[in-house]
Structure 1
Amino acid sequence: MRDIDCSFRKSRLLPFLLLSVLSLTQCRAEDLWGLPIAQVLERLARGDASFLREASGEALAQAFRLGPGSPYYLSFWAEASGDSGQARALLALQWEKGRGRWKEEAALALLAGHAARREWAEAESQARRFLPGLRSPELRRGGERALAEALYWQRKDAELLPWLDRLAGSGDEELLLFRAAASCRLNAPDWPELFRVLFFQRQASGLHSRAWSFLQLEERLGRFSPAEAAFFGAKAALAEGRAAEALDALESSFPELSPALRAPLLPEAAGAFLRARQPARGARLLGPLVEDSNGAEWAGRLARRAGERAAAEAAFRRVARDSAVSAQRDRASWLLLDLARERSAEDFLAEMEGQAWADPDYFADILEQEISAMVARRQWALLARLRTAMQRVEAPGAVQQRALAPRARLAYLQGRLRELGDLEGDPLESFREAARLDPGGYHGRLSAARLPASESAAFQPVDGREEEETAEESPPQAPPASASEEAPAGNAAASGTSGTTGAAAATVPEAFLLGFIAHGLYQEGYRRLLSPRAEPGLLLRAVRELDGRGQYLQSLRLLARYLEGGPVTEEVLRLYYPRGFAEALEEVCREESLPPAVFFALVREESHFDPAIVSSAGAVGLTQLLPETALEVARLLKIEEPDLRDPGQNLRIGARHLARLAARSKDLSRALLAYNAGSGRLRSWERGAAGLPSDLLVEAVPFAETRRYVRKILISAVRYGQLYYGLAPRDTVRLFYP
């Protein structure tokens, strides 16, 4: 079933938005299945397509009254309601009587349906019928691909191979399996080599399970050496999650393979032992086979997991010294830093001072954790030394801002410690440096607020951009029990299937893409618009439509993509910091004496203003309340059976919960720590950081997610204060840290 957003949100459809939708879909002032057109559109906007139950037979053709592509869009709603027959009828109607992109997309959707039902003869017949009418190159490739699949499953191999030639270079890995199997059935001389390419040059996936089964059923494994056949079986077992069988097969096959074959397979083989939690076994097998830096890196990873730190360090030093790949040298340096962290902060600093980084951005996470640990241990002299070491790092342009964030953080910390008398020197010098390095980020904002007012206004983010995590992220969750310190492996092959949705949005008509939004298909429209090459103007127009309909989750995510290259204006900032449910939110802020800029920021970061969102931890709604917490607070408000998906109730309960936490804490920053991580954790952190001011307490928190939570809300609150409440950034900062 195609993706669809079926949540029933309460949105306000303003008259001018309705007019824009009517214009977009070219509708006429007629009824549709007994309903006025305007009412149909309004119901679609809030996720209600139940009126489709009244449409059948020839009456389906009325769908064109909504617009030239409406049968196509309504097929999504029919499919979601479980009426696949109606969905197919709408798609067939679009193909027969429609035009343009909608007609072609309907054809591909019909072909996908045949494939899902394994109706291969029908799929072949329809594909041959549709192909002459597919004008868009990427959709024509989709039609050719559907025909190739239908031919494959019907074993029409001689007909299949020319179509595979036409599809060469598409990046579709399944086509390699089709070619290998078809060539084998035709006894083509190159078929064994095609299977070798599939097994030796592709990451383990379901294709290997299918290829292994094919070779067994066709009794063709005898054409390969015993070591090759055993490795093929290992790959299939890995793909199917049969770890014990996969490791046994690796042990029997891997040493027998040629060095040229083994080298690129080492990461996958090592990863199998790591996932099975048998690193020592993997180290014994793969260690003696290491012949280059790539092998040394993975031997080091296995040794480290096995507790053999000396062997791991030796392997990583070899990689850092000998590798010709800068990214690999950085990974080895990261791993050496992590080993040093396990010994002491002094060893971490000594290791860092001897390193040279190609991409300082890569080390931001480990620096983030180590700085917090130093603050928690009150190692002020080491922090100053770390700042000195960081000052030599100048990042290339593409990663400069994030790479500079640790330097800004260290400068701010040094300034605060100078203010408190724990370090010598001029605090203003440190604050100026932090504000210069990170003007729109958390530490830049804090630093500017501590400078004289005459200086503070000079430090503003370039083009209004801030350094914060984008709305592409999921809403914050409860912090994990421990943070993973394993460096990313790198060199992992990205996998996926090719299809029409992967086409660049820049090649797709704007009316087609915005039509998803006009028909209430917000999630599908968002997915289609996320092309890497989508034109910024189109993204902004889609954001305006989504924002006007109250679909802030998708609008914020699309705007994050827009901000990668589009110009920033005050309109863009207001779209990026929307005031969803403004009337209800400001009312509860008045009742609970909360600054609305802060509470808007909290709701934005918690839920992106999606009242139906539920986190993996079970937190619900706009303010992401856990049901047990909400029930306790609801009793105080005399709400007997709270509905956390109701925006009004959720905001009332969330505001009262935050207000109670703020009343128990010294300031809003501590209340936010408790809101995110729990009051019990806050009390534990306060005991461990007794005597530290609130800003340093936040720095000492051991959970990176909770530190980021406070930072993101402060950054957002600054913008809400500026855009809607006339607050200077320093005044908003003082709401958090009086």
Structure 2
Amino acid sequence: MALQQFRRVLATAFIAIFSLSQVACVDGKVLGLERAEWFRRLSVGETLPIFSVAYVDYDELTELGPGALLFLSWHAEAAGEARLRQRLLEAATRLESGLYRQRAGQLLEELYLATNQFTALSDLYAANPMKLPDWQLALGQAKALQGQANWPAAIVAWQDFTDRWPEQAATRSASLLTARVDCLLGMVADNLTDASWRLRLTEAARQLTEQRAETSLAAALTRLLPILEPLLPADLSLLLALREAAGRRDYGPALRLFYRYIAVRNHASQFDQAATAGSAAEPATGTPGDNAAPATETRPEALAVSDLFATVHRLDQTMLADFVRSLPFATAADLARCWLFSEAAEGLNVFRLLVAQPELPLELAYLYHFYAGRLESRQQRPDQAALYLRQAARLAGNGPDRDVAYWYLAEGQLATRPAETIASLAEALAVSDNPGYYDDLLEALSRLAVLRRDGHLLASLDAAAGRRAAPSQRARLDYLLARAAAAGLISLSDLQAAFGENAPASLQRYQNAHYQLAANQAANPWYRLLANLRLGRPALVRPPETAAAVAPPAATPSAGSGRDGSAPASQPVADQPYAEFCRGLVDWQLGSRLFDETSRFLPVMYLEEIRLAAQWLADGGRHAESIRLANRLLARSDTAATMQDWRLAWPQPFGDAMATALAVSSVDRSLMYGLIRSESLFMPAVVSMAGAVGLSQLMPATAAEMAGRLRLASWDSANPADNLLIGTAYLKRLLDNNGGAVLPALFSYNAGPGRYRAWRTAAAGLPVDLMLETLDYAETRQYGRNVATAAVYYETLYGSVDANDYLSWLLGEAD
């Protein structure tokens, strides 16, 4: 009887639990709420049922729609419900599909790593909802084994990864090496070592002295050194300590560590010699008498600091050079930087000896010549520096090393020998795979030439390097050279001297050719606008309202993207997984994540998907992110721009506040929108590193002064209406102070009126578009370009003035 009663109670309890778990089956409700009620609560920020129930049926939650578990995990994270967030993500990797399952797996991987749940992480890699390729799975499993303190298996896994995927391993060499050291140290701590552990640890530590410097290496050494030091030979510990100090840019102490390393090595050598001599002098038989004095010895590790420095002081430059030559490349490079920034004179003497060594390996020959050049330059010896740096560039075994040698060569010549700088840049650009590396030097050199009104230097730069520059810099040079010729800075004789028999027949032909090149490029819109204006073409033409959809580029998608790049050119939004994903973020009130999430998939998204995401961001008032996304859209090679794209990239938010501000100060609407877009991307509360606040980036002192002039009783620079009122009034004041000239007012707005006056004096007589190229603040140069370009787009989109007339007005050339 008792057994039957127990069974009835058990059955009743089971039915009750089952009924609670099946609420979704009753009247279409989920946790007792209609689906519409869930989204109503989301829209007004009310508490969701998942935060107030003890039991959650994750299968039931999927009734809320695709991705519900993933989206709810983000709400759980925002609510500080870490345990629930994890459970939701784990459920999503089981119950969701496609993109939602993949993204949940990625987030779960990050969570497990952050919370040291390595056993769960290993299981996640085994299931692989992230759709990771094999090499990433192997890398992850090695991390998981190490996290579980399974040191022997982890060492095998790291080595297996290195052997099977050498290309991926090469880009992670420092982290792989420190992981191996961590595993060996773990084995020591857990008493899992065999007879070879010290040898293996020493070998791994020695490899750390050979590892090229990376950001992660200094941090890893800071963490590992206190543990490694008592386990390693003294000289090896000192080299690692040197590398760690150099990585922190603590160059003086790092150099002293090198001197200690030399002393330890010298003392060890003396000790070994004495030990050998003592052994040879011992009698073949017998032992010391009982009353003999005990033998004493001083190991290198016990050497006193005074003895260390006494040893170093006995060294001459030749012995120092010998020790440097014995160092691995990476450690020698760190040491060279230490000398460069602390004891350049001594370092120079050492490296002069090093470059004279015969039959150097190519890598070391490059290193020694490069730092000999840097040290000569530090000692104000430009001729000798140029010899060493040019030789270093020719010895370089790879493009990055060659570029850095040529860069320092040209930079050292720039101030006093610009003609030689041109020759060096021409030599560099002829062999470089990365011409953009030299953009700053090309800009500085051309700026110097314009300020000096040196047409010969400009023409020589064009002949030697102009066509080899990176696309954006080439566009700048094309326009600058044509404009300089039109302004009389470059003469026909300058061109003939620079180009010889290839010189153009006339200045007009030279101008037109360069204007054509600038007008037909797509890398730099400012110079395209200007060149079209000079050629008498429309500076800017509106795109069509709509355009045919185009498939994404036929590039290999990112890992686990879920799209192979071969989808049809257009399909309904409902069939586009990324559009559905982005729409889900909006519906679930997760618009703050929309930009970051969309950015993950941009290379494989359809244009329509990107447009929709940008529009949803704009609709949610997230204009900065919408603009960034629209800019990425317009930069894609497969984009046929539409008016919708332009409106997303150049929006007009805060319309009422802007209208009020313009009514007070009478500033051109397109100009003011161009300024606000460039200053803040329409983020009302943004604060710059300098302390400028709000839409028009007002400095507190400027805001206070202008608020007083406007007789404002109170104001808040983070309030859009106040900020626009004050910022517009300030721009109006600068325009009035500059006779209505727009670009000078913009230069003053960015850099201050006093700085602008100094620039105006230096560039007296130059047209304002050439003057812009002479400003010595790169930020102000780019600011002028950005605001003026944006203003032209705003006027073309929303205004009534022809683009050419408007651009002429911006340049102060309107009739």
| TM category, shorter | 0.7 to 0.9
**2:487 counterpart residue number:** 416
Q: What letter is aligned with 2:752?
A: G
- Alignment of 1:72 onto 2:100: no
**Structure 2 residue aligned with 1:57:** 54
Match of 1:637 among 682, 690, 710: 710
Q: Distance in 2 between matches of 1:506 and 1:271?
A: 47
Check if 1:616 corresponds to 2:616: no
* TM-superposed deviation, 1:712: 1.6
Give distance in 2, aligned partners of 1:325 and 1:51.
58
Aligned residues: 654
Change (3 A) 1:154 1:696: closer
Deviations 1:485-532 (A, max 9, x none): xxxxxxxxxxxxxxxx99565669635566556545556543444459
2:353 is matched by which residue type in structure 1? P
Query: 1-side partners of 2:712 and 2:107: how far apart?
Result: 47
Q: 2:799 aligned with 1:715, yes or no?
A: no
Deviation, structure 1 residue 661: 1.1
1:142 deviates by 7.1
Contact 2:30 2:61 in 1 (8 A): no
Question: How much does 1:649 deviate?
Answer: 2.2
Distance 2:428 2:159 in 1: 49
Query: Equivalent residue for 1:270?
Result: 336
- Give the structure-1-normalised TM-score: 0.76
Match of 1:178 in 2: 179
Shift of the 575–394 alpha-carbon distance from structure 1 to 2, 3 Å rule, reads same
Q: What does 1:595-674 align with in structure 2 at a 5 Å threshold?
A: 595-666=668-739, 667-674=741-748
1:75–1:87 Cα contact (<8 Å) kept? yes
- Which digits, 9 at most, give the CA deviation of each residue in 1:645-675, with x for residues without a partner? 2222222222111111111113111110111
Cα separation, 2, equivalents of 1:50 and 1:645: 30
| Matching of residues 292-441 of structure 1 within 5 Å | 292-323=365-396, 325=398, 328-343=401-416, 345=418, 348=421, 357-359=430-432, 360-376=435-451, 379-380=452-453, 382-393=454-465, 395=467, 399-417=470-488, 429=509, 431-439=511-519, 441=525
Say whether 1:526 aligns with 2:595: yes
Q: Retained in 1: the 8 A contact 2:426–2:465?
A: no
**Contact 2:491/2:507, CA 8 A, preserved across alignment:** no
Amino acid at match of 2:769: D
Moved more, 661-670 or 49-58: 49-58
Distance between the aligned counterparts of 1:421 and 1:577, measured in 2? 42
* Cα distance in 2 for residues equivalent to 1:389 and 1:362: 17
User: Percent identical across equivalent pairs?
Assistant: 23
Residue from 588, 598, 620 that aligns with 1:549: 620
Relative to 1, partners in 2 of residues 1:176 and 1:675: Cα closer, same or farther, differing over 3 Å?
same
* 3-state SS of paired residue (1:614): coil
3-state DSSP of counterpart to 2:603: coil
Partner SS state of residue 239, structure 2: helix
Residues 85/601 of structure 1: CA separation in 2 closer, same or farther (3 Å cut): same
Which residue of the partner structure matches residue 233 of structure 1? 241
Q: Distance in 1 between matches of 2:581 and 2:338?
A: 44
Cα separation, partners in 2 of 1:56 and 1:250, compared to 1, 3 Å: farther
Pick one of 211, 226, 229 that aligns with 2:224. 211
The 5-angstrom pairing of residues 65-144 of structure 1 reads 67-80=65-78, 82-92=80-90, 94=92, 98-103=96-101, 105-106=103-104, 109-110=107-108, 112-113=110-111, 115-118=113-116, 123-138=117-132
Q: Which moved more, 1:665-674 or 1:134-143?
A: 134-143
Does 311-320 or 601-610 show the bigger shift? 311-320
Q: Measure, in 2, the Cα distance between the counterparts of 1:50 and 1:430.
A: 70
Could you tell me how far apart the structure 2 residues matched to 1:704 and 1:97 are?
Answer: 53
* 2:237 partner letter: A
Q: Which residue does 1:5 correspond to in 2?
A: none
Deviation at 1:678, TM superposition (A): 0.9
**Separation (CA, whole Å) in 2 of partners of 1:325 and 1:115:** 36
2:222 counterpart letter in structure 1: S
How far has the Cα of 1:64 moved from its partner? 5.0
* 1:583 positional shift: 4.4
Q: 1:584 maps to which residue?
A: 657
Counterpart in the other structure of 2:354: 289
The answer on whether the counterparts of 2:481 and 2:511 sit within 8 Å (CA) in structure 1 is no
**Relative to structure 1, is the Cα distance of residues 67 and 163 closer, same or farther in structure 2, using a 3 angstrom cutoff?**
farther
1:8 paired residue number: none
Instruction: Return 5+ residue gaps in structure 1 as ranges.
Output: 1-26, 465-500
1:679 maps onto 2:763 in alignment: no
What is the CA–CA distance in structure 2 between the aligned matches of 1:202 and 1:75, rounded to whole Å?
41
Q: Secondary structure at the match of 2:693?
A: coil
**Corresponding position of 1:196:** 206
Query: Are 2:769 and 1:695 equivalent residues in the alignment?
Result: yes
In the alignment, which residue of structure 1 is the partner of 2:604?
535
Structure 1 residues 351, 256: closer, same or farther in 2, change over 3 A? Answer: closer
Q: Does the residue aligned with 1:57 lie in a helix, a strand or coil?
A: coil
Which region of structure 1 is more displaced relative to structure 2, 284-293 or 590-599? 284-293
Task: State the distance in 2 between where 1:393 and 1:28 align.
Answer: 71
User: In the alignment, does 2:537 pair up with 1:456?
Assistant: yes
DSSP 3-state at the match of 1:438? helix
The CA deviation at 1:688 is 3.7
Whichever residue aligns with residue 158 of structure 1, its letter is P
**Contact between 2:675 and 2:787, CA under 8 Å: does it hold in 1?**
yes
Change (3 A) 1:96 1:327: closer
- CA apart distance, 1:635: 2.8
**Unmatched 5+ stretches in structure 2:** 1-27, 188-192, 263-319, 356-363, 496-504, 545-556, 565-576
Per-residue CA shift, 1:530-571, capped at 9, x if unaligned?
A: 459722525444333323323232233334444143313123
Residue correspondence of structure 1 range 505-520 to structure 2 within 5 A:
505=561, 510=578, 511-512=580-581, 515-516=584-585, 519=588
Distance 1:345 1:174, change over 3 A: closer
Query: Any conservation in 2 of the 1:71–1:93 contact (CA below 8 Å)?
Result: yes
Comparing 304-313 with 56-65, greater Cα deviation is found at: 56-65
Task: Assess, with a 3 A threshold, how the Cα gap between structure 1 residues 235 and 374 changes in structure 2: closer, same or farther.
Answer: same
Conservation of the 8 A alpha-carbon contact between 2:324 and 2:332 = no
3-state SS of 2:651 partner: coil
SS at match of 1:205: helix
1:424-479 C-alpha deviation (Å, 9 max, x unpaired): 9977545533431222643443343344xxx323x779999xxxxxxxxxxxxxxx
Query: Does the 8 A contact of 2:138 with 2:157 survive in 1?
Result: yes
Cα deviations by residue, 1:99-130 (Å, 9 ceiling, x for unpaired) = 55545654564564455455xxxx24423554
Say if 1:536 and 1:566, in contact at 8 Å, map to a contact too.
no
Preserved CA contact (<8 Å) 1:584 1:648:
yes
Which whole-Å deviations, capped at 9, do the CAs of 1:712-731 have from their partners, x for residues lacking one?
Answer: 21222222222222443321
Distance 2:247 2:483 in 1: 49
* Cα distance, 1:28–1:687 mapped onto 2, change above 3 Å: farther
d(CA) in 2 for partners of 1:88 and 1:307?
61
Distance, in Å, in 2 between the alignment partners of 1:66 and 1:358 is 59
* Preserved CA contact (<8 Å) 2:76 2:84: yes
Query: Which segment is superposed worse, 186-195 or 408-417?
Result: 186-195
After TM superposition, give the deviation of residue 357 of structure 1 in Å. 3.4
Deviation at 1:354, TM superposition (A): 7.8
Answer yes or no: is the 8 Å Cα contact 1:619–1:627 preserved in 2. yes
Higher relative contact order (CA 8 A, sep 6+): 1
Instruction: Select the structure of larger CA radius of gyration.
Output: 2
- Any idea what SS the aligned residue of 2:380 has? coil
1:445 aligns with 2:529: yes
C-alpha distance 553-305 of structure 1, shift in aligned 2 (>3 A): farther
Alpha-carbon deviation of 1:366?
Answer: 1.7
Residues 140, 582 of structure 1: alpha-carbon distance in 2 compared, 3 angstrom cutoff: farther
* Matched-pair contact (CA < 8 Å) for 2:595–2:625: yes
Moved more, 189-198 or 294-303: 189-198
